[in-house]
Amino acid sequence: MRYDLRQGTVREAWETFIPALADKVHGGAEYAENCGACDNRKNCRWCPVYGWLENGRFSAPVAHLCEVAKENKMFKENWQAQHRRYYRIAGITIQVDSDLPIDDQTFHPKFTSFRADGPGADTVTIRHHFGMPDLAGKDLGRELYRKPPWAISRQNGSYIYLGISPQADDPSLHRVATFNADHTRGRIYNDDVRGDSWRKGDVHSLTMFPSDQILIARLLADRRGCYLHSAGAILNGAGVLFVGHSEAGKSTTTNMLIEAGARGDMEVEILCDDRNIVRKYPAANGIPSPQAAEAQKHISSSSTREGHKRIPSPLTGEGEGEGGGEWRVYGTWSHGDVPLVSANDAPLRAICFIEQANENSITPLTDRKEITRRLLACVIKPFVTADWWEKTLDVIGELSNEAPCYVMRFDKTGEIVGEINSVIGSAVHGSTVG
Ligand code: SF4
């Protein structure tokens, strides 16, 4: 195994001698029967040098590494089962890892329908630690925001969130979170109070922030999506948003739809009565997702004209538009009075701006400036930064240009359901509602 340079050349050593050693290091019956066929190899640190050092043979398995590999496998399986969960919202999978165990009681039941079996094409990871880091003397970078309960700074492209006290003279922190630039990887350090909450269970947010929207609204801006203050439902297969502020009647509308579904007036699946997500999937290239793939299949099967693929309208599936794509509506776990939520999604067919009144009517709204104004008033914001606003303004601009929008005035008699039914029928068939 030694090459004497006094007897040869560097070139011969490099080009002939060393490659020839490969046959001595790899292969052979011993390797093939043991490490070469080992189904635990990915958990093992074995390499031919270990074999040589421990047993004098490059192909020999190493008994203590076999033991370590078994422990490693058990640790990983235990971590997957006891310390990791996946949740999927708006095509984004959130992998939650925690130093404390996660069981079926850790998170509130509202998360149940969002649970996923494993990572998706677009997976974001957050890791919970319980115990606060020592930040004394640490450079936290440039402070971007300070208003209790948060101070946010940026350093080397990463974001640092400090949970600060409302008392100006209290320097204690209740949590610290760090995220990479696009917020796809985060570490969250929780104090003892939050550690106790975790152990008690029924936790209402995956991040243990007051709301997961702080994270998800930011992620959506990079994915051509946003949260809207709205009630959302899938009605006869069509995604419909009833947009309005608190007290506008979102929960009332939701309850009317539930009753209409129970009566059999239409097929109703409630997504969420308070916050829903709209997201546009590009017609061709975009973040991989089942929905994007579905949209792509739709485009591929569309008829051609002058040799070009026809791009379906994002909302009706008919006609064509520059860039194309499909808007979809997604439920969230951020509900209001109606604790009914769904992780399901559907193509967006109508946005209704709701107003309580003494009449029941739905009229088309075509003034794009007015639509933009109404949508902007109902966008849910994370900690606003210039780039988030820029991306979200683009999304809202596009949505106002492409979504069929209506003003819905309604009383509490439930008669509005008939109007909604006819709007859905018209939107699906691509006609307007007079
Ligand atoms: S040392 Fe043991 S566990 Fe590791 S690859 Fe070889 S047979 Fe498998």
DSSP 184-238: SEEEEEE-HHHHHHHHH--BS-SS-SS-THHHHHHHHHTTTEEEEEEEEEEETTE
* Residue of 27 and 11 predicted with greater confidence: 11
Radius of gyration, CA atoms only, the chain: 28
Residue 434 clears pLDDT 80, i.e. is over it: no
Question: 311: Cβ below 6 Å to ligand 1?
Answer: no
Ligand 1 atom with minimal separation from the 35 CA: 6
Residues whose CB is less than 8 angstroms from the CB of residue 180 and which lie 6 or more positions away in sequence, other chains included:
157, 158, 159, 186
Question: 66: Cβ below 6 Å to ligand 1?
Answer: yes
| CA 40 / ligand 1 centre spacing (Å) | 7
Mean pLDDT across the stretch 133-147?
89
Could you give the 3-state DSSP secondary structure of residue 396?
Answer: helix
Last residue of one domain, picked from the residues 184, 211, 238: 211
- Cα–Cα distance measured from residue 19 to residue 24, given in angstroms and rounded to the nearest whole number: 10
Judge if 171 and 40 occupy the same domain. Answer: no
Which structural domain, as residue segments, surrounds residue 168?
A: 86-211
362-401 CB burial, b ≥16 within 10 A, e <16: beebeeeeebbebbeebbbebeebeebeebbeebbebbbe
pTM: 0.81
Q: pLDDT tens digit string along 280-319?
A: 987 655 444 444 544 444 433 333 333 333 333 333 333 3
Q: Is the peptide bond before 149 cis (omega within 30 degrees of 0)?
A: yes
Nearest of 158, 276, 176, 270 to residue 217 by alpha carbon? 276
Q: In the chain, what percentage of residues exceed pLDDT 90?
A: 71
Token digits of residue 51 = 């074999």
Nearest of 298, 296, 299, 300 to residue 285 by alpha carbon? 296
Mean pLDDT across the stretch 67-73?
96
Mean pLDDT across the stretch 93-118?
96
From residue 349, alpha-carbon distances to 145, 176, 239, 402 in Å are 38, 41, 6, 10
Judge if 254 and 168 occupy the same domain. Answer: no
| CA 101 / ligand 1 centre spacing (Å) | 30
Token digits of residue 267 = 């097929």
* Residue of 295 and 204 predicted with greater confidence: 204
Mean pLDDT of all residues in the chain?
87
What's the confidence (pLDDT) of residue 25?
62
* CATH value at residue 387: 3.40.50
Written as one letter, the residue type at 369 is K
- Cα–Cα distance measured from residue 108 to residue 273, given in angstroms and rounded to the nearest whole number: 17
Mutation test of ligand 1: which of 53, 65, 74 has the most ligand atoms closer than 8 Å to its C-beta?
A: 65
Q: Looking at ligand 1, which residue's alpha carbon is closest to its atom 7?
A: 35
| CA 51 / ligand 1 centre spacing (Å) | 10
Contact 329, 243 (CB under 8 A): no
Q: pLDDT tens digit string along 381-412?
A: 888 888 899 999 999 999 999 999 999 999 99
Judge if 225 and 370 occupy the same domain. Answer: yes
Which DSSP state fits 404? Answer: -
What is the edge-to-edge ordering of all strands in the sheet holding 173-179? 115-116, 84-89, 92-98, 123-130, 185-190, 173-179, 158-164, 150-155, 142-147
Last residue of one domain, picked from the residues 211, 246, 275: 211
Mutation test of ligand 1: which of 62, 67, 71 has the most ligand atoms closer than 8 Å to its C-beta?
A: 62
Judge if 154 and 184 occupy the same domain. Answer: yes
Ligand 1 atom with minimal separation from the 38 CA: 8
Judge if 166 and 23 occupy the same domain. Answer: no
Question: 61: Cβ below 6 Å to ligand 1?
Answer: yes
Q: In the chain, what percentage of residues exceed pLDDT 70?
A: 87
Residues whose CB is less than 8 angstroms from the CB of residue 99 and which lie 6 or more positions away in sequence, other chains included:
83, 127, 128, 129, 130
- Cα–Cα distance measured from residue 161 to residue 95, given in angstroms and rounded to the nearest whole number: 20
Judge if 286 and 411 occupy the same domain. Answer: yes
Q: Looking at ligand 1, which residue's alpha carbon is closest to its atom 6?
A: 35
How many C-beta atoms lie closer than 10 Å to residue 145's C-beta?
Answer: 14
Judge if 395 and 423 occupy the same domain. Answer: yes
Provide the number of structural domains found in the chain: 3
Q: pLDDT tens digit string along 36-51?
A: 999 999 999 999 889 9
Helix (H) or strand (E) run with residue 146 in it = strand 142-147
Judge if 168 and 283 occupy the same domain. Answer: no
Question: 62: Cβ below 6 Å to ligand 1?
Answer: yes
Asked if residue 72 belongs to a domain, the reply is no
Could you give the 3-state DSSP secondary structure of residue 3?
Answer: coil
Mean pLDDT across the stretch 133-153?
90
Nearest of 237, 282, 293, 273 to residue 427 by alpha carbon? 237
Residues whose CB is less than 8 angstroms from the CB of residue 44 and which lie 6 or more positions away in sequence, other chains included:
35, 38, 65, 66, 68, 69, 72
Judge if 200 and 234 occupy the same domain. Answer: no
Find the DSSP H helices in 40-191. 48-55, 63-83
| CA 276 / ligand 1 centre spacing (Å) | 50
Written as one letter, the residue type at 232 is G
